[in-house]
């Protein structure tokens, strides 16, 4: 289909994947890539079996094990009976329905949102679905990627389609340039703080502007990953030379002449000059500081030099949540966030466990020691990330500093394996959610920040400004 002038990537990808308009007014959208994992797929496969369906497009479906996988020893059977059971189910379902599985012995296992781009499965112009909220990550490659629930996983398995309403589109432009010590995580936390955790409801976000265009692919993945935390249905960046360079040579990317043909099509899917948006928001990238969350949602954050805000100054509907957050986190109004003692430091998750994240944290940890009494974990996002990091000696830098070097998985992002906070512990975390109970303890407290800031906090034993530790 030929694109008309002035269209956005959202328009073009949506149109290219529309099967028909449903009586409900929603679009029946073809899904180009379906990624599955052990937690949200067992029930979906069961429903599929009961309905007597097969998987409609097994060649467009890929599985990995990430959420429950242990990170100390991954020897089967796992010590955790439930984790072992979920894994057995996934292996069996993949075998029965002919779905490729990146198992623990594949060298390709890892967090679903890390391995998709890393293997070149995620490509520009695609529609992607996965039974996990942070599927928005894949938008960094120039795809429309949607997190879905278990019954939708069933629908995609059975039909390779989803019924969806087309979202509105907000372009978020990040202008000028970031200062040293300010990372992609700080950019997205600032966006969410500015627009609110519900600010993106009904929208997809197109990220643009010099700061975004200057980012590496891994930095872009961090930004898109947290679109959902700002309430957006999806988030994407337009594919460009950085995207194509990143994809070249990856195992599932087109090879040789097919790659060049693909690049021409991928370029044609980018938003046209002159396209219009439902809303445009501009941020000054040069004004962004290293950010730390102080509350119980990712929008409750301040710059590291800032102080805990007064709920009386919160936008009306948020006053109650701010008060709840202060009480839960045990913060006082006006208290500086820097200096807040931590118990645990976690570098990992689909937001920030790629090679460049580990490099940035290792740069801070190199030649320094984790403060006494702090439990510090580094959990690579995939087996490939672990291998690349080990080839550079990053694991030794972390271990010499006193961090534990773990095997790939979601780990303490959500504490579905043995990596959990205990009691009221405070965790400096490079993950994406600081909801109450998220890290495995109903009373545990999470402070979100960039991986370099987590490393700085581990060394100081408290929230610290990474800019003072950069060499
Ligand atoms: S790392 Fe966290 S957010 Fe990402 S897929 Fe795993 S559990 Fe979900």
Does 412 sit in the ligand 1 pocket, CB within 6 Å?
no
Mean pLDDT for the stretch of residues 105-131: 98
pLDDT for residue 277 is more than 60? yes
Mean pLDDT for the stretch of residues 420-428: 98
Is residue 301 within 8 Å of 194, Cβ to Cβ? no
Is residue 78 within 8 Å of 84, Cβ to Cβ? yes
pLDDT band for 471, please (50, 70, 90 cuts): confident
User: pLDDT tens for residues 184-234?
Assistant: 999 999 999 999 999 999 999 999 999 999 999 999 999 999 999 999 999
Q: What is the largest CA-CA distance in the chain?
A: 63
pLDDT for residue 4 is more than 60? no
CA 376 from centre of chain? 21
**How far apart are the C-alpha atoms of 114 and 386, rounded to whole Å?**
12
Lookup result for tokens 């600032």: 190
Mean pLDDT for the stretch of residues 145-157: 97
Which of 141, 166, 300, 293 has its CA nearest to residue 223? 141
Bridge partner list, 101: 63
Tell me what percent of the residues of the chain surpass a pLDDT of 70.
99
Does 407 sit in the ligand 1 pocket, CB within 6 Å?
no
Strand bridging mode 404-405 / 375-378: parallel
CA 41 from centre of chain? 19
**How far apart are the C-alpha atoms of 184 and 352, rounded to whole Å?**
9
Tell me what pLDDT residue 77 has: 96
- Supply the DSSP symbol for 227: G
pLDDT for residue 418 is more than 70? yes
Q: Which helix (H) or strand (E) holds 76?
A: none
Mean pLDDT for the stretch of residues 387-396: 98
**How far apart are the C-alpha atoms of 80 and 288, rounded to whole Å?**
42
Which of 171, 123, 115, 167 has its CA nearest to residue 143? 123
pTM: 0.97
Residue 235 φ/ψ, nearest 5 degrees: -145, 145
User: pLDDT tens for residues 34-45?
Assistant: 999 999 999 999
Strand bridging mode 426-429 / 445-448: parallel
Bridge partner list, 293: 301
Strand bridging mode 61-64 / 101-102: parallel
pLDDT for residue 459 is more than 70? yes
**How far apart are the C-alpha atoms of 252 and 128, rounded to whole Å?**
15
Rounded to the nearest angstrom, the distance between the alpha carbon of 333 and the centre of ligand 1 is 31
Which of 179, 173, 422 has its CA nearest to residue 286? 179
The C-alpha R_g of the chain, in whole angstroms, comes to: 21
pLDDT for residue 429 is more than 60? yes
Does 185 sit in the ligand 1 pocket, CB within 6 Å?
no
Is residue 345 within 8 Å of 426, Cβ to Cβ? no
Which of 328, 365, 142 has its CA nearest to residue 234? 142
Mean pLDDT of the chain, nearest integer: 97
CA 235 from centre of chain? 11
pLDDT band for 315, please (50, 70, 90 cuts): confident
**Which residue among 36, 39, 64, 67 is best mutated to probe the pocket of ligand 1, counting the most ligand atoms within 8 A of its Cβ?**
67
Domains and CATH numbers, the chain: 9-164 (3.30.499.10), 168-287 (3.40.1060.10), 291-469 (3.30.499.10)
Tell me what pLDDT residue 5 has: 65
Does 350 sit in the ligand 1 pocket, CB within 6 Å?
yes
**How far apart are the C-alpha atoms of 193 and 295, rounded to whole Å?**
11
User: pLDDT tens for residues 324-350?
Assistant: 999 999 999 999 999 999 999 999 999
Helix (H, G, I), strand (E, B) or coil at 293: strand
Rounded to the nearest angstrom, the distance between the alpha carbon of 241 and the centre of ligand 1 is 28
Rounded to the nearest angstrom, the distance between the alpha carbon of 48 and the centre of ligand 1 is 25
Mean pLDDT for the stretch of residues 369-378: 98
pLDDT for residue 31 is more than 80? yes
**Which residue among 432, 437, 438, 440 is best mutated to probe the pocket of ligand 1, counting the most ligand atoms within 8 A of its Cβ?**
432
Rounded to the nearest angstrom, the distance between the alpha carbon of 414 and the centre of ligand 1 is 7
pLDDT for residue 2 is more than 60? no
pLDDT for residue 83 is more than 70? yes
**How far apart are the C-alpha atoms of 10 and 5, rounded to whole Å?**
14
pLDDT for residue 1 is more than 60? no
CA 241 from centre of chain? 22
User: pLDDT tens for residues 251-260?
Assistant: 999 999 999 9
**How far apart are the C-alpha atoms of 220 and 158, rounded to whole Å?**
32
Helix (H, G, I), strand (E, B) or coil at 195: helix
Residue nearest ligand 1's atom 2 by CA: 413
**Which residue among 416, 431, 433 is best mutated to probe the pocket of ligand 1, counting the most ligand atoms within 8 A of its Cβ?**
431
Which of 363, 360, 448 has its CA nearest to residue 401? 363
Which of 287, 226, 274, 126 has its CA nearest to residue 449? 226
């Amino acid at each position: 289909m030929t694109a008309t002038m002035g269209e956005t990537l959202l328009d073009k990808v949506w149109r290219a994947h529309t099967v028909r308009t449903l009586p409900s007014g929603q679009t029946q959208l073809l899904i180009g890539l379906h990624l599955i994992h052990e937690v949200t797929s067992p029930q979906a496969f069961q429903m599929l079996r009961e309905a007597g369906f097969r998987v409609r497009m097994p060649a467009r479906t890929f599985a990995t094990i990430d959420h429950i996988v242990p990170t100390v020893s991954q020897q089967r059977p796992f010590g955790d009976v439930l984790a072992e059971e979920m894994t057995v189910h996934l292996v069996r379902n993949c075998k029965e329905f002919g779905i490729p599985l990146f198992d623990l012995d594949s060298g390709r296992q890892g967090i679903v949102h890390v391995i998709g781009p890393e293997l070149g499965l995620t490509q520009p112009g695609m529609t992607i679905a996965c039974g996990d909220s942070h599927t928005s990550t894949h938008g960094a490659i120039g795809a429309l990627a949607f997190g879905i629930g278990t019954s939708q996983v069933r629908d995609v398995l059975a039909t390779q389609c989803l019924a969806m309403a087309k979202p509105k589109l907000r372009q978020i432009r990040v202008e000028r340039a970031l200062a040293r010590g300010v990372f992609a995580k700080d950019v997205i936390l600032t966006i969410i703080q500015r627009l609110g955790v519900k600010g993106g409801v009904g929208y997809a976000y197109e990220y643009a502007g010099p700061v975004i265009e200057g980012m590496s692919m891994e930095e872009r993945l961090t930004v898109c990953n947290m679109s959902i935390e700002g309430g957006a249905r999806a988030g994407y960046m337009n594919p460009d030379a950085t995207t194509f360079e990143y994809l070249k040579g990856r195992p599932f990317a087109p090879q040789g002449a097919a790659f060049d043909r693909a690049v021409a099509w991928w370029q044609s899917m980018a938003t046209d000059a002159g396209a219009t948006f439902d809303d445009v928001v501009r941020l000054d990238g040069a004004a962004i500081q290293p950010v730390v969350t102080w509350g119980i949602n990712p929008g409750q954050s301040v710059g590291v030099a800032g102080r805990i805000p007064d709920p009386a100054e919160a936008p009306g509907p948020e006053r109650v949540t701010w008060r709840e957050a202060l009480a839960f986190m045990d913060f006082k109004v006006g208290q500086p966030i820097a200096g807040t003692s931590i118990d645990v430091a976690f570098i990992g998750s689909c937001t920030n466990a790629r090679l460049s994240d580990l490099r940035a944290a290792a740069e801070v940890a190199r030649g320094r020691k984790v403060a006494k009494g702090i439990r510090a974990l580094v959990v690579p996002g995939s087996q490939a990330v672990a291998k690349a990091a080990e080839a550079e000696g990053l694991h030794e830098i972390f271990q010499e500093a006193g961090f534990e070097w773990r095997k790939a998985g979601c780990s303490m992002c959500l504490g579905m394996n043995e990596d959990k906070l205990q009691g009221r512990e405070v965790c400096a975390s490079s993950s994406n959610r600081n909801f109450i109970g998220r890290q495995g303890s109903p009373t545990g407290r999470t402070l979100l920040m960039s991986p370099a800031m987590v490393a700085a906090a581990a060394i100081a034993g408290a929230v610290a400004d990474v800019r003072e530790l950069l060499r």
